[in-house]
Amino acid sequence: MRLILLGAPGAGKGTQAEYLSKRFSIPHISTGDILRENVKNETELGKKAKEYMDKGLLVPDEIVIEIVKDRISKEDCKNGFLLDGFPRTIAQAEALDKVLQELGQKIDKVLDIEVPDEKILERMSGRRICKNCGASFHVIYRPPQKEGVCDVCGGELYQREDDKEETVKKRLEVYHAQTQPLIDYYKAKGLLVVVYGQEEIADTTKEVLKALGIQ
Domains of the chain: 2-115+178-212 (3.40.50.300)
Angle at 172 between CA 169 and CA 177, to 5 degrees: 130
Q: Are the C-beta atoms of residues 91 and 12 closer than 8 Å to each other?
A: no
pLDDT tops 80 at residue 97 = yes
Annotated binding site for AMP: 31, 36, 57-59, 85-88, 92, 160, 171
195 bridge partner residues: 113
Which residues lie closer than 8 Å to 211 by C-beta, 6 or more apart?
Answer: 109, 111, 193, 194, 195
128 bridge partner residues: 137
Whole-number Å distance between alpha carbons of 88 and 91: 8
The tens digit of pLDDT for each residue in 110-157 reads 999 999 999 999 989 999 999 999 999 999 989 999 999 999 999 999
More confident site: 152 or 175: 152
Band of residue 58 on the pLDDT scale cut at 50, 70, 90: confident
Annotated binding site: 10-15, 31, 36, 57-59, 85-88, 92, 127, 130, 133, 136-137, 150, 153, 160, 171, 199
> What pLDDT score was predicted for residue 14?
82
Annotated binding site for ATP: 10-15, 127, 136-137, 199
Active-site positions read: 13, 88, 127, 160, 171
Q: Are the C-beta atoms of residues 64 and 86 closer than 8 Å to each other?
A: yes
pLDDT tops 80 at residue 183 = yes
Cα 197 to the center of its chain, rounded Å? 14
pLDDT tops 80 at residue 26 = yes
Count the Cβ atoms, other than its own, within 10 Å of residue 133: 11
> What pLDDT score was predicted for residue 33?
80
Residue among 124, 134, 92, 126 nearest 4 (CA): 92
Band of residue 28 on the pLDDT scale cut at 50, 70, 90: very high
- Confidence (pTM): 0.75
pLDDT tops 80 at residue 215 = no
